[in-house]
Structure 1
Amino acid sequence: MDNSRLFEPARLGALRLPNRLVMAPLTRNRAAADGVPEPIMAAYYAQRASAGLIIAEASTPNAVGQTYPNIPGIHNDAHVAGWRRVTGAVRAAGGRMFLQLQHGGRIGHPDITGLTPVAPSPVAFPDPIFTPNGSQPGVVPREMTVAEIRSTVADFAAAARRAVDAGFEGVEVHGGNGYLIHQFLSDATNHRADAYGGSVAGRIRFAVEVAEAVADAVGPARVGLRIAPGVTANAMREHDIERVYPALVGALADKGLAYLHVVFADPGVPLFHRIRGDWPATLIANPALPWPTPFPADGGRREGERLLAAGADLISLGRAFLANPDLVERFRRGAPLNPVRDEYWYGGTELGYTDYPALAAAPDRLDPVAV
């Protein structure tokens, strides 16, 4: 059996994790139109319960924050009831779950929500947005007032309380990949001249306030923050990451949060080591793998091992868990991985979602599942 550190137990706040492999949050667009998780989502997550921790897909803390069709929400009682079925299934299978809270900011559309997107500044998303009416040009978002910023902070806190009520062990605040919090951090999307813009201290303020409010709502040991320094997903641009992210990490280092989750982490970049040195709690690292292709044959394991050696505590993988419900056991045995079928990533049925074979049901030579 493999004696890699990936299979060592770890602690995360009050949780004991059986291994150091985290299922990263993956948008799959399988919720109902009103954001209520569908029963198939319970099956999907329960299949992957052997992960040390599952971070469930991005869920919106309010209506205007919805990004795409069929994204789950966590801002009403029906959402809570739907998610409770998911967490119950995962717990019955021996797993543990956090829920990611994501507000899309400028990445939204009236065809999806019936509302004009809001953002730190009226800077339109430059790419098409998928809506129920097909791809549509991005719209100019409405600049948030200070009162709206404060109400959004409160919405994040309320969503965290709902998540815990739904059975999640905690929540991850999404501060990366071009969504609202990331938009506040970047000088390319935040042109404000008030206390929430301009200087580095101003641009990190919203992120800090959200993290603090969520921690006050459910306890800091139930809260993680995801960041993506320099990541260009969703047309994001940043020009001063060497100043912004150390400031953000420093502002939250003494708040007792459960973890910091760094996306596209690269141990060859000095900023990674700066963040590791400044962050006193658990650090989850998501390897810098090619996106969307080519997907590495080892599922990102080699890069994950490098990050563990460089100081990360836990490793998050996305596509590898998507295609391999028993990824932990495959890694442990050195077994081949299922190929990723990217045509089924977003929306649809069980195809490319719950029909990936586990080892016990898989042939010796794994080929794509017939559909």
Structure 2
Amino acid sequence: MQISWRIAAIGAGCAAIVPLLSAQTSPATSTEAFIVSDLSYAFYRGDEKTDCPDGRSFSLRDAYLQTRAPAERERLLKPENAAALDSAYKNDYVFGPGGKDICTDAELFATPEHPLQKPFRGPVAPGMDLDGATPGHATPGTCRHDSFTSPTGERGVDNQMYRATGCNTMWRGIGEKGRGELSGPMSVGKHPVAIVVAGVDDWQDDPHVEVLVAAVADRPPLDAKQVPMAGSSVTLSANPRYRMRVTGSIRNGVLTTDPGDFILPYNWVGASGGEYIARHVRLRLTRNKDGELSGALGGYRPIDNVIAMFRVGGPGVASTAGVDCSSLRQSLGLFADGDPDQAGKCTSVSTALNIAARPAFVYDGGKLLNGRP
């Protein structure tokens, strides 16, 4: 049994995706809906001596000091020269000709004075095999790259974002159990997302299901941890740009989707009009006894979308948070493995997210898409 989807006009021309059951629909077939409760960068903490043998990536301050001659570096590090050091790296190193700054116009600062991120060199990283390529080879739509093995032993894992940033303290965190502030969860309370799984005959094995991932137009009720609550009633955004509709299958209790483009409204640093973009996304999800989903999302993020939040933040991201946006952008470009341009240079970088979702009531244009969660 298959479910087809059609676009139906709602109100004054708003589009809504509505499932149409065929005449052969089995009474056992279900459509279930969920509100995303976790969406965060997947992180694996192995042995740092193996993973980061070159050490941690430089902070902006330390990167600046590396550009100075040893004698000048020693002078600036003296306590009485702390103000001079702050002024030098927060001004001279952050700003260039015409008042351009290292985060708003990161591509203009791609010089030897801004060293690359120190790469993650370990063999194990979270994620999934997105391209099916033999390690070290390219496929149509990708560039040659070395893959990882997942913590559970899956080979061919594509996560070049991790290779570029896994030794950066902003991602890695401080201490053995630390976790960097940029590897934490996205704000699913402020930017809610729904998942609808249609045409399910059996959550253990089903050769064909249809999956809709979409932005939510309203704010669901949140629990004490600011996470959407199970049983929430939410309405999907009418903007078709913020809907990913893909087919998938369930084997041995694991739902795996075909690839699709995942785009969500996401306002960086309080600004409006931002988006989170990931291309060729696959979902891998399991459903527990309480009806909740958990698993992984893997895809390719355009390089400039990865640093979009830093562009919006401007020079303050560098001078206050200590992020060398130019170094980050250069490193992402070096390890990019997806979406080659006409010259054959890849423009997006593979990445992996954790994702979890709770049962919810999901409406689209006034129509409830699922039954009781």
- Structure number having the greater strand percentage: 2
User: Please, what TM-score do these two structures have when normalized by structure 1?
Assistant: 0.24
